Chains A and B, each alone.
Chain A
Amino acid sequence: MTENSNKLTFAGVDWPVIFIYLALVLIGWLNIYAAVYDEAHANIFDISQRYGMQLVWMGISFFLAVSVLLIDAKYYHILAYPLYWITIVILLGVFVFGKEVNGARSWYEFGPVRIQPTEFVKFTASLAVARAMSSYNFNIHRFSSVATVFFILAIPVGIIMLQNDTGSALVYGAFFFMLFREGFNGWLYVALFMLVTLFVFSFWLEPVPLLLLMLLVCIAGEGALNGRWKQKIVYFAGVLLGALGLYFLFRVLGGEISFYAGLVISSLLSLVVVLIYAFRHRLRNVYLFVLLFVGSLCFTNTIDYVFDNVLQIHQQKRILDLLGLESDLKNWGYNVNQSKIAIGSGGFSGKGFLEGTQTKYDFVPEQSTDFIFCTVGEEWGFLGSAAVVILFGALILKLIAMGERQQETFGRIYCYSVASILFFHFIVNIGMTVGLMPVIGIPLPFFSYGGSSLIAFTVLLFVAVKLDSSKKEHIRRI
């Protein structure tokens, strides 16, 4: 390699991204130091302490970051599949050689060092997906193409689920973000959005108002498309009268029926009228709303079963706590409540470095890993936490911009994948510390203590930087 080409290796690098990265890693380290600070071990190089160890991980990460930039971009394309399969094998190896930590069997242990392969699979899966989607015969609208992508993602998801690490498995849902950009079916996202909304409302509302709300939304949606509001009012009144009629009819006949059941029967019967109406007037979009209504009805009636029987108890409680339906500050709600106290007590400008009592005195659990953001909130206040949030937002927007200016599909998809993964971690981790998301144990990239996480995110990010810079190199050569 000539001196000239060596210079060129760094020439096209997007320096703002590097700066954001360095800023996040350094701020992260300061907060780890504060979170586990203890007067007896104030030496920052003490590797028996987490901040000392994190310095080691940072050194390794910086070394790897430079290495990634030195390797020619084309190798990432070439090595995508082999790397993917190697990490999958390593991931499977955990079942045999791994160690269980906090109920999740997802760690290798080498003496004092523990490695979590899950973190690295995010990187290789991103490469593999980018490779698959950038092949010439890939078509996002073709089933077999999409199936390939889902296959690549399903293998790690399946293995991670088996290791009982649901949080890390959920991260792969982030790829939907990238797929949206690549033109994946938009209706799927609408449906997904509605499901989440319906899920939340099914907890907040009693069955009768929920059903009425669904009915009203469907009628209003149909009305917005087709007009004829008078008919809608008559129809809605008719359904209500029917429900009341059924309710009292059963009473008179000596039976017993709940108003909810009456309303369900009445609205389902009314669908016959709606279908005939739609057929006569050739209004095809009405079918969609009928489908939506029936689908919602089925969904809300099965959700309780799924919630009670599929989710584990701590997952149920975390969701109930988030929705404000159940408060148990001593057990399930403890983490989030203490996290909110730590962040909330920071005030506008924070308590100052090393002055955060809630984190320093262990009121916040996992304060150097998953709940590291609490230290930021408590010691640096709104100013500090806002700065971190904005840095993350800027980094993600930067990655989207990088993806957009790529000329090759592989690079674009890879950059978007990185943006998606970071976005997911960002929204879920910070969201949970401020009580907007259920507690899902995933780290805050570049911040949380942990070698595997820091190294994996560094490599993940710097491959994107390398792909971006080599594109510029290419242009310059022309």
Chain B
Amino acid sequence: MNPARTRILRFAVIATVLILLARLFYLQVVDQRYKVFADNNVLRYEVQYPPRGEVYDRNGEFLVQSKESYDLLVTPRDVKPFDTTLLCNILGVDKALFLREMKKAYQYSRRRPSVLFKQLPKEVKLKLEERNFPGFYTQYRTIRSYPRKIAGNLLGYVGEVNERIIERNPYYKRGDYIGMSGIEQAYEKVLRGTKGVKIQMVDVHGMPKGAYAEGVYDTLATPGSSIVCTIDAKLQALAEELLEGKVGSVVAIEPSTGEILVMASSPSYDPDELVGRERGNNYMKLLRNPRHPLFNRAVMSAYPPGSTFKLVNALVALQEGTLVPENTYPCTNGYHVGRGVKCHSHSSPVDLTAAIQTSCNAYFCYVYRNLVDDKKYGGVKNGFDVWRDYVESFGFGRKLNSDFTNELNGTVPTRELYDRIYRSRWNSLTTVSLSIGQGELGVTMLQMANFIATIANRGYYYIPHVVKEVSGQDSLDRRFYEKHHSKVDPKHFDVVAEAMWRAVNVGGTATGARIDGLDVCGKTGTAQNPHGKDHSTFACFAPLDKPKIAMSVYIENGIWGATIAVPIARVLMEQYLADTVTRPDLVQYIKNLQLSYPAYDRKQQ
């Protein structure tokens, strides 16, 4: 009857079918986005947190333990009426705070869990389980605990990641913990382990519906590896005890390996304070403390080294041939050229050994000036460059590339610096304070201890490091096994070492460090401090042959090297080498010695 129109209608049906097929093909085969959207809908990734690796000292004693802790979560929808007061009592929180947190959880989602309180101890978790509050449940995490309560700055602390860290490193998600300083930061990757994930399917209301793909994509959390530290916990604890009330630091190194035995910085803090719910408040308290307990002075403070630096100048001059040990120079209470350098009274003239023993300032002014002014360099500035090169080869003025974060460069002045300060008009006299470790020098105790270790080793050092062993790894980074030679020939070290031995054992500034049978060698220092009392410093190693420990002590405003730095070093040396303290009176003396720090404490107001 009307074939044309029938054809049109048939065509319309076929066209519709084709359009729908094309659309389906586009949605299902061409456009891949919908698969992702579907996964976003239905998959929920539940993180499995690994326990963080533990830290031991060199003798296997716990320095840091991972304690189980629990976060309390709530799914508001599943909450049944409960005794709020009882729950608050168990948790030990204020009721108002609890209600505030609950309100937040309700606002976030009724069906999805949110974290109410973090880092609850295990006892609380057990009590909660006993009472059974529907809708509330706990999640396993670990927190740090410090059985010895020492080495806070060395070990560092762990904190929750912030937005910046999350942005930089996609491994971290909100709520994760990360090492923020010290070993925790430096060995974060080793300690943290690997998070696992459990992929769950959820329905439109967020209710779990079982494991995705029978769990084949789930991964278990791998616990963090434990670390054995080079630190000697007993010695570290003693060092911290002795430093209490003072501002300063002690670093001790085993010369034959570069292992750091002690790294104490004072004032310190109880590392346990930076764990748990009070962490935020305690952290702010520490941050506001005018003596800066969070500041690791052992590696972050560059001090004028004072007389201990004379050893450097002696070694450089010996190597360059501008000094032989037999050279004698006169000292009449100082060096009286130019502005002059004062000295205390001692016999005159002195040779190198006696100069080190008595810490003669004038002698080293001669040594330094003879060195840099030597004709073979053709000018003081070139001579200065030669000197500087040597100094740097001992590890001064640069990072030692230790496994420790926040290492400071320290400062060794450059020719350009003096050119700027003195408008290029300077000579050996202008810079003569470098000869006695004053002037534009800045040295960290890590660098000084490393230098002493170099003397102990007669010419080389291993990069100082704090980690001895990482479980599951055969060895540390290769750089810790390489000898680093200074530019001074080994043969020149003996005379210096000998002189240091004499300074302690025969007669000199450091006789207070003498311990019978242990052959302590040392060099005191008194760093002039324009802002207050002089700093007391002492660098030493023992025994003279096959040294086992090299140490550097620095006490701010401690006056003479012998006043406080020497006794501290003596007690620590004996403790380490003989495992005893034969002079409890000395310990008492150190503890009783009151030092004042107006420069810090004035700021308090």
- Check A382 against B25 for contact (C-beta < 8 Å): yes
Closest to A381 in B: B28
Residues of A within 8 A of B202 (CB): 361
User: A393 is contacted by which of B14, B31, B42 (Cβ under 8 Å)?
Assistant: B14
Total A-B pairs, Cβ < 8 A: 111
Residues of A within 8 A of B205 (CB): 362
Residues of A within 8 A of B41 (CB): 338, 341, 357-358, 363
| Segment of A160-168, A175-183, A460-468 engaged in the interface with chain B | A175-183
Nearest chain A CB to B205 CB, angstrom units: 8
A contact residues, total (Cβ < 8 Å): 41
Residues of B within 8 A of A377 (CB): 24, 27-28
Which of B20, B31, B203, B205 neighbours the largest number of chain A CB atoms within 10 Å of its CB? B20
- Check A423 against B34 for contact (C-beta < 8 Å): no
Indicate if A439 sits at the interface (CB-CB under 8 A).
no
- Check A358 against B20 for contact (C-beta < 8 Å): no
Report A351-393 CB contacts with B as 1/0, cut-off 8 Å. Answer: 0000001100111000000000000010001100110011011
Known: A344-B34, A344-B35, A362-B203. A183 touches B2 (CB 8 A): yes
| Segment of A17-25, A69-77, A116-124, A429-437 engaged in the interface with chain B | A429-437
User: B6 is contacted by which of A181, A346, A358, A389 (Cβ under 8 Å)?
Assistant: A181
Indicate if B5 sits at the interface (CB-CB under 8 A).
yes
- Check B28 against A347 for contact (C-beta < 8 Å): yes
A230, B201: Cα distance in complex, Å: 67
Closest to B31 in A: A344
Residues of A within 8 A of B6 (CB): 181, 400, 404
Residues of B within 8 A of A342 (CB): 38
Closest to A365 in B: B204
Indicate if B23 sits at the interface (CB-CB under 8 A).
yes
Give the contacts of B1-53 with A (CB-CB under 8 A): 2, 5-6, 8-10, 12-14, 16-17, 19-21, 23-25, 27-29, 31, 33-35, 37-39, 41-42
A145, B34: Cα distance in complex, Å: 51
Chain B: interface secondary structure? helix
Indicate if A27 sits at the interface (CB-CB under 8 A).
no
Residues of B within 8 A of A263 (CB): none
Which of B21, B37, B203 neighbours the largest number of chain A CB atoms within 10 Å of its CB? B37
A382, B20: Cα distance in complex, Å: 11
Report B181-204 CB contacts with A as 1/0, cut-off 8 Å. Answer: 000000000000000000001111
B contact residues, total (Cβ < 8 Å): 35
A436, B14: Cα distance in complex, Å: 17
Residues of A within 8 A of B8 (CB): 180
Indicate if A65 sits at the interface (CB-CB under 8 A).
no
Indicate if B209 sits at the interface (CB-CB under 8 A).
yes
- Check B28 against A385 for contact (C-beta < 8 Å): yes
Residues of A within 8 A of B13 (CB): 393, 396-397, 400, 423
- Check B201 against A361 for contact (C-beta < 8 Å): yes
Indicate if A345 sits at the interface (CB-CB under 8 A).
yes
Residues of B within 8 A of A180 (CB): 5, 8-9
User: B27 is contacted by which of A340, A389, A426 (Cβ under 8 Å)?
Assistant: A340
Indicate if A58 sits at the interface (CB-CB under 8 A).
no
Known: A348-B28, A382-B28, A397-B10. A181 touches B5 (CB 8 A): yes
Residues of A within 8 A of B20 (CB): 389, 427, 430-431, 434, 436
Residues of A within 8 A of B21 (CB): 386, 389-390
Nearest chain A CB to B2 CB, angstrom units: 6
Closest to B25 in A: A382
User: B38 is contacted by which of A341, A404, A431 (Cβ under 8 Å)?
Assistant: A341
- Check A434 against B2 for contact (C-beta < 8 Å): no
- Check B9 against A362 for contact (C-beta < 8 Å): no
Residues of B within 8 A of A346 (CB): 28
Which of A182, A340, A381 neighbours the largest number of chain B CB atoms within 10 Å of its CB? A340
- Check B35 against A347 for contact (C-beta < 8 Å): yes
- Check B10 against A400 for contact (C-beta < 8 Å): yes
Closest to B203 in A: A361
- Check B27 against A344 for contact (C-beta < 8 Å): yes
Residues of B within 8 A of A362 (CB): 203-205
Residues of A within 8 A of B12 (CB): 177
User: B24 is contacted by which of A181, A183, A400, A434 (Cβ under 8 Å)?
Assistant: A434
Indicate if A129 sits at the interface (CB-CB under 8 A).
no
Indicate if A343 sits at the interface (CB-CB under 8 A).
yes
- Check A382 against B34 for contact (C-beta < 8 Å): no
- Check A386 against B24 for contact (C-beta < 8 Å): yes
Q: Which 9 A-B pairs have the closest CB atoms?
A: A344-B34, A345-B38, A361-B203, A393-B17, A357-B42, A344-B27, A382-B28, A362-B204, A341-B37
Can you show 10 pairs from A to B with CB atoms below 8 A apart?
A181-B9, A183-B5, A338-B41, A340-B34, A341-B37, A344-B35, A344-B37, A347-B35, A397-B10, A434-B23
Question: 17 additional contacts, CB 8 Å, given A181-B9, A393-B14?
Answer: A180-B5, A181-B2, A340-B27, A340-B34, A341-B37, A343-B24, A361-B202, A361-B204, A363-B41, A382-B28, A386-B24, A389-B24, A397-B10, A400-B10, A423-B13, A430-B20, A436-B20
